[in-house]
Structure 1
Amino acid sequence: MSNTGQAKNPLFKNTLVILIVGLLIGAILGYGASTLLQHPQAQTTTQQTITVPIGALVELTGDLSSYGKRDQLAMQLAIEDVNSFAEKIGSPFRFTLLVEDSGTSPEQALARIKTLAAQGVQAVIGLEASSEVSAVKQFADSNHLVVISVGSTAMSLALPGDYVLRVVPPDSFQSRALARIIYTLGYRNVAVIYRNDAWGVGLYESFSARFKQLGGNVAGVSYDPNAKDLSAEVKRLSDIASAMGANTAVLSITFEDDGINIFRLAVKDPVLSKLKWFGTDAVVQSSKFTAEAGGEIVTLGGLPSTIFQPTENQRLQDFIQRFKQRSGGEEPHAYAMVSYDAVWLVALSVMLTGTYTGEKLVTTIPLVAQKYNGVTGLLTLDQNGDKATGDYAIWQVVKTSTGYDWQLVGWYNSATDTATFSG
């Protein structure tokens, strides 16, 4: 029975005794309490189950579409597992995924989160881009709607006390990783081309500060992410790199479509085409990159790129194999992995408290994250609601017998600030 239109109508009142065995949380969590599930869109069926809608706001189109599609699949796998788990332990809760396309657009992300809120969603998972998170933040805070970002890393969003949680480390970690990797490989000058948005500017500034601290030199060119012609910016980048002289590398802080545009221009440039290029988490394992610009990227040195990577464990390997079976062989990137875990954080919080409201979720999820041992390991959040730490994998594009593909070529350890490379 739908209760649309009845604000905060109590739909379930009963004694719950839920014993959650460490199937995926690595511990036993038990409690018994009389609880209320208070939300107008939760639905009670004749079997006395309660359906809870979780929002998936993902990039099905636009500059990050190959990422958003994998995030959606990972979340759907989690929904299946959560519901199976809930049935086995006798929980009345069942979860469903309501999917909206953000279009990798701040404006569309804001419109679609309002659509999800109108359908009773109190927790939204997805939003790879920091610009999208920035666009929805005020609405989420004002309406007490929890946003769990699986890919936003801009340091400007590392804020305490809001309704935005991020299950990946902020760019204070990635900037250190990139600086150490490039410096370790012998480069002392870096020319950077970066998106003029919250994520691009923040990562550029943080990387620049750290690389200069190590003793290097950095100069950059920003560009409008919506611009179609980037030839002038690429020419300025070429002039900067030329002036820097020997031991110069290039760092590209881009998304998929804009990155491809830049690489196609760079391989025609007499200076940039001879330099080693590096990338970031926004492009790692991009199928668009390998399909549409694999040759150009290999010409530019393969684009070694960093992305947060969970520690290897059997649960993670099992998830990867299952994901590949469902995706037709495509591998999940790290942000798809945390998308899976994010669904569990929401579901476990609801099952433990018996409440599906943003106000309850925003305080409960960080507590659950301290104990939940998911496919990506522990997801402990810091005081800003961001993943507290993380190491980084280094991937680059290589030519194979069947075309171009991403290959794992190294690791960065954040605790020791060291980079190691295979081969």
Structure 2
Amino acid sequence: MRRKVPAIALITLAAVIFACGCTGTTTTEQAEVQENVVGVLLPLTGDFAESGAASRAAVEVAAGDINDYFASIGSDHRVRLVVEDTATDPAVALEKLKALDAQGIRMVIGPGCSAELEAVRAYADAHGILIVSTMSTAPSLAIPGDNIFRLVSPDTYQADAMAYYLEEEGIAAVVPVWRGDIWGDELRNLTTTAFKAQNGTVYDGVRYTPGQKDYAGTMADLDVQVGKAIAAHGQENVCVYAVTLNEIAPIMTRAAETQNLTGVRWYGCDGNVLLGTLATPGDAARFAAQTNFTGPTFWQQNLAAAHEATFQKIQNRLGRQPDGYSLASYDALWLLTLTGTQTASAETPKLKIALTKVSDTFAGPFCNVVGLNAAGDRSTVHYCFWSIKADGDGYRWVPDAQYDIWVAGTPPVFEAIGA
């Protein structure tokens, strides 16, 4: 049986000697406050900006909840966030990590996509910075012994879940379009392998460059390949598999102008599911609903009633439904807080030991880690498949199915939602 210990209970058990980052003292009218600073690297602009904004809302809510807790027990400790925008740019992410390092910050949540994490990993290892990632999923970044811990599942599992879902949907042929970086290349390749293992057909598809502005040529090439797939397999058995970030909106706007891309189903991934852009009336949302756009994102269904208020606070702060990455970010700040209570040392080796121990029992509101694997990644798997649907004059995301692996090495549990 999995043992779940609420975050509040864990904090109560620990001394409030919280060493998440650098510390300082400020004076209020009530008492001196011991300020604990946590760095947060997020893509607030660029191709991953929507997910970055969601994670920022979540960590800000978490900081408020943590500080409220400290106040309620009469502690003089408080957490303060230093948030930096990585612009979805690996080079910028590295420069922003160096800026946090210069401030003496030893614990960091972030950065955004896997390409950003790849760019900062060596620096974090060399300078003793502990990073908790809630948005990177590239399997090649699962490296035992480094200073990176990831609270979301690596894409080997997402690929298996996607292949399983496509088979359930009766898809026989997939034509991918994907972002040409470490994350996009790996997820496309993994999903191709998984789908072919189920006797599915995968066409070459089209790879595009991150930061690309015009997708007319990309969609023209994709349209030709989809036309060939339709001729060979029948329209109802063909789909487009889109491995993208926020650029899914301009991609879909261009796709709507083609001959074949409007007539097949489209499937997505954790980088483009639950985007507010696709729930906002416009050409992209209309195309997404027309093609029954569906994809998985890290998510655990059946949120406990006790945590619904926290979810609502994040949603209200963001102004739209948060994604799975943001919910993991909320829990990440609690996890770092709990880690800090286990040792008065800011030395990275001791903090890594503490974080690993805490994760063995950590059950946050949204992200039951319950142990990390040898590479510091989560060992359980949770994806919810969401579809974009027309809703009167607007559009909304609707949950379709849940895919879980509760214990590493056991078969997945797949359950339709609302069936």
Distance verdict in 2 for CA 1:281–1:377, change over 3 Å: closer
Pair 1:75-2:53 in alignment: no
Pair 1:279-2:264 in alignment: no
Name the counterpart of 1:252.
242
Query: Could you report, residue by residue, the CA deviation over 1:78-109 in whole angstroms, capped at 9, with x for unpaired residues?
Result: 11222232344455532110111111111111
Alignment equivalent of 2:208, drawn from 223, 227, 234: 223
AA matched with 2:312? Q
- Matches of 1:375 and 1:195 in 2, distance apart? 32
Alignment equivalent of 2:375, drawn from 361, 378, 384: 384
Distance verdict in 2 for CA 1:417–1:193, change over 3 Å: farther
Name the counterpart of 1:43.
24
Query: Could you report, residue by residue, the CA deviation over 1:333-386 in whole angstroms, capped at 9, with x for unpaired residues?
Result: 111111111001111111221233433322221211111221124212111111
- Matches of 2:20 and 2:288 in 1, distance apart? 52
Q: Is contact 1:38–1:357 with CA below 8 Å preserved after alignment?
A: no
- Matches of 1:248 and 1:36 in 2, distance apart? 54
Q: Is contact 2:20–2:106 with CA below 8 Å preserved after alignment?
A: no
Name the counterpart of 1:267.
256
Q: Report how many aligned residue pairs link the two structures.
A: 398
Q: Is contact 1:192–1:204 with CA below 8 Å preserved after alignment?
A: yes
- Matches of 1:251 and 1:68 in 2, distance apart? 23
Secondary structure of the corresponding residue to residue 153 of structure 1? coil
**Identical amino acids, percent of aligned pairs:** 29
Residues 185-196 of structure 1: matches in 2 within 5 Å? 185-196=169-180
Name the counterpart of 1:418.
414
AA matched with 1:249? C
Query: Could you report, residue by residue, the CA deviation over 1:236-279 in whole angstroms, capped at 9, with x for unpaired residues?
Result: 222222222322111000011x2122212211211111110000
Return the offset for 1:70.
1.6
AA matched with 1:78? A
AA matched with 1:253? V
AA matched with 1:42? T
Q: Is contact 2:177–2:243 with CA below 8 Å preserved after alignment?
A: yes
- Matches of 1:125 and 1:110 in 2, distance apart? 14
Distance verdict in 2 for CA 1:421–1:179, change over 3 Å: farther
Distance verdict in 2 for CA 1:96–1:357, change over 3 Å: farther
Return the offset for 1:24.
2.5
- Matches of 1:295 and 1:164 in 2, distance apart? 39
Name the counterpart of 1:19.
none
Distance verdict in 2 for CA 1:420–1:85, change over 3 Å: same
Alignment equivalent of 2:400, drawn from 399, 409, 422: 409
AA matched with 1:229? D
Structure 1 stretches of 5 or more lacking a match? 1-21
Query: Could you report, residue by residue, the CA deviation over 1:25-51 in whole angstroms, capped at 9, with x for unpaired residues?
Result: 566874679x89697x41135656421
Provide TM-score, normalisation by structure 1: 0.87
Secondary structure of the corresponding residue to residue 128 of structure 2? coil
Name the counterpart of 1:337.
327
Secondary structure of the corresponding residue to residue 266 of structure 2? strand
- Matches of 2:190 and 2:103 in 1, distance apart? 39
Deviates more, 1:400-409 or 1:63-72: 400-409
Return the offset for 1:63.
1.3
Q: Is contact 1:124–1:148 with CA below 8 Å preserved after alignment?
A: yes
Return the offset for 1:54.
0.1
Return the offset for 1:234.
2.1
Pair 1:159-2:143 in alignment: yes
Alignment equivalent of 1:234, drawn from 198, 205, 219: 219
- Matches of 1:201 and 1:418 in 2, distance apart? 26
Return the offset for 1:158.
1.1
Pair 1:397-2:388 in alignment: yes
Query: Could you report, residue by residue, the CA deviation over 1:216-243 in whole angstroms, capped at 9, with x for unpaired residues?
Result: 0112321111222333332222222222
Q: Is contact 1:346–1:361 with CA below 8 Å preserved after alignment?
A: no
Residues 41-120 of structure 1: matches in 2 within 5 Å? 41-45=22-26, 47=31, 49-89=33-73, 91-120=75-104
Structure 2 stretches of 5 or more lacking a match? 406-410
- Matches of 1:38 and 1:216 in 2, distance apart? 48
Return the offset for 1:121.
1.2
- Matches of 2:383 and 2:339 in 1, distance apart? 28
Distance verdict in 2 for CA 1:36–1:206, change over 3 Å: closer
Larger proportion of strand? 1
Pair 1:298-2:289 in alignment: yes
The CA RMSD over aligned residues, in Å, is: 2.4
Secondary structure of the corresponding residue to residue 342 of structure 2? helix
Name the counterpart of 1:205.
189
Pair 1:24-2:7 in alignment: yes
Deviates more, 1:84-93 or 1:396-405: 84-93
Alignment equivalent of 2:152, drawn from 164, 168, 172: 168
Distance verdict in 2 for CA 1:275–1:136, change over 3 Å: same
Q: Is contact 2:331–2:367 with CA below 8 Å preserved after alignment?
A: no
Name the counterpart of 1:355.
345
Secondary structure of the corresponding residue to residue 200 of structure 1? helix
Secondary structure of the corresponding residue to residue 288 of structure 2? helix
Distance verdict in 2 for CA 1:45–1:267, change over 3 Å: closer
- Matches of 1:143 and 1:133 in 2, distance apart? 15
Q: Is contact 1:26–1:372 with CA below 8 Å preserved after alignment?
A: no
